[in-house]
Amino acid sequence: MLSYKAPIMDLKFLIEDVFDYYGHYQKHPEFEEATPDLVDAIMQECAKFCENELLPLNQSGDKEGCTFDQGKVTTPKGFKEAYQQYVDGGWQSLSHPIEHGGQGLPPSLGMVKQEMMGTANWSWAMYPGLSHGAMNTIQEHGTDEQKEVYLTRLTEGTWTGTMCLTEPQCGTDLGQVKTKAEPNDDGTYDISGTKIFISAGEHDLTDNIIHIVLARLPGAPAGTRGISLFIVPKMQVDASGNIGEFNNVTCGSIEDKMGIKASATAVLNFDNAKGVLIGPENKGLECMFTFMNTARVGTALQGVCASELAFQNSLSYAKERLSMRSLTGKKYPDQVADPIIVHPDVRKMLMTQKAISEGGRAMIYYTAKLVDDIEFAKNEEDKKAADDKLGFITPILKAFLTELGSESANHGLQIFGGHGYIKEWGMEQIVRDNRISTLYEGTTGIQALDLLGRKILLTRGASLKAFTFDILNFCKEKSMISSNPHKRQMNKFIWPLSKAVANWQQYSMRIALKAKKNRDFVGSASVDYLMYSGYIVMAYFWAQMAQAAYEKLSTDVENRDFYRAKIKTAEFYFEMMLPRTKSLAATMMADPKTLMQLNEDLLSFS
């Protein structure tokens, strides 16, 4: 049986000591109500909801799954009641604008809520989670009338939202979208086509579902330049937001999936469904990126959630499971064997899980501050600076953290041994549930091409230069005794990090030069380059956490073991995980000719 305890102390450490959320909130008058007392109360109440209501539905929801009958989807037992509690508790409205019924609290605080819900029950959390991207898209690109009609209900949680991109003939290559939008005299459009892999596309939690749909207008240019974006509700909606007739959006089926079985993944058929244009004509993909970036950061969080849940359960099991004796002598002589936590290999897996969970969380919470700055920037210059950083780090977050989330989940299964393979313990479910995170919202390969192709090569390294500038400034400041009394202790982090950043810059330049001669080099190097980048970025945040822990230990703070553990985990990361960059450097710089030298016939197995 899975267990979960919200890591409140770790959340507060990041919020208060590492990223100074409260100083950050003071820069934004909109967040004046986000005081430490209020934030602490919200975290405590959210933890209770997740631990007591969502976690018990995790394994039962996986076992029961969603059921499909003649276009209707029924969620597992308890899901609808938990969703109503979620709405009644005001959780959906937490970090959305007051003018649409929200509580006006920071988006970064919403990310904290999302992490706890996602760790307790990722399948359930996807239903309200998909709404956030739809809301952000309408907020950014919708008209005042669209915001009034749709955002109010979505903010309440009485309606949910989706994103409808993929079609049977195309996945990532959205230039192949065939869904049509025929204009009507009243300003609406008739939307016709089929969309697949639509998370939360049909369910019984709310009376209406608002679909954000990519489609083509008559005479639109071919490819991605001819895609527009539309709001298409499941049930028609009048100007006052009242629900009317069925809007000819039918669910053809739901997928029989490897994991997240309690989350309905729908095939949706649009048969002259009424929709309204959102944003300019033929600029739908640009508008959709508002949604997609939100979804990608949310997907990155899934990797952290999977790692945290696997780690918590692995740690408890490793302390209790007795098997063999320690190589250095009996540690528990009164027991028939020592608990497996004494064995170095088990320790390595546990420490890797801990480093991934806490390091990944730090990366997400840093990004959450950027989202605050983008949404509430006082001028375009500040907004662009934050947006550029977010754009650079998003593909790293999405791919790196989901891949490491799968690694952590697999470590959990391994620690449980044969029991990990049995459904009762829940470990194999974490592996299955997280596996999709490396695929949807763009596979690891797609994210890698985005990072190396668009963010590095097309900007001639400008994005990398801006991000590494921050890291090197941190290293410089913490390496001077005049500004850092903990310089001596921090040297073991600062110097390896500085060297890693210098290598990152040099390898990026070398790849750019090689890519000029052979375009295949980009595709060959990209995934290894992204993972290489991810380990350095995570090292940066582990160095920051170590610095904050040293600072806390120099005071009379309680729970001193917590801060000592932070430092020890940072040491583990730098000694046993950051060195992975060495093998990645070798493979990403390898000549792609060994990949391309076999033609299709020679690749055949027959």
Q: Which residues are catalytic?
A: 441
Task: Give, for 255, the enclosing helix (H) or strand (E).
Answer: none
| Distance (Å, whole) CA 262 – CA 78 | 11
Residue 64 near residue 194 (C-beta atoms within 8 A): no
Q: How many angstroms separate the CA atoms of 576 and 352, rounded?
A: 9
Residue 214 host element (H or E): strand 208-215
Tokens standing for 282? Answer: 């033929």
570-589 CB burial, b ≥16 within 10 A, e <16? bebbbeebbeebeebbeebb
Rg, Å, the chain Cα set = 25
CA distance 417 to 307: 17
The gap between the terminal CA atoms of the chain, to the nearest Å, is 45
Q: Which residues contact 69 (CB under 8 A, 6 or more apart)?
A: none
Q: Tell me how long the chain is.
A: 606
Report residue 464 as tokens: 């990398």
CA distance 204 to 212: 19
CA distance linking residue 354 with residue 87, whole number of Å = 33
SS3 215: strand
The identity of residue 156, as a single letter, is: E
65: left (phi over 0), alpha (psi -120 to 50) or beta: left
The residue among 172, 195, 200 whose CA lies nearest residue 265 is 200
- Cα separation, 92 vs 82, in Å, equals 13
- Contact present, 167 and 228 (Cβ < 8 Å): no
Structure tokens at 485: 């009394």
Cα distance between residue 84 and residue 160, in whole Å? 12
Q: Which of 387, 529, 359 is nearest to 445 (CA)?
A: 529
DSSP notation for 221-232 = PSGGGG-EEEEE
Percentages (nearest 5) of helix, strand, coil residues in the chain: 60, 10, 25
- Report the alpha-carbon angle 20-296-221, nearest 5: 135
Report which DSSP code applies to 250. E
Tokens 């937001």 -> residue: 241
β pairing state of 189-199 and 72-74: unpaired
Tokens for 166, please give them: 């993929």
CA angle 338, 339, 341 (to 5 degrees): 120
Would you state the structure tokens that stand for residue 484, as one six-digit string?
């850092």
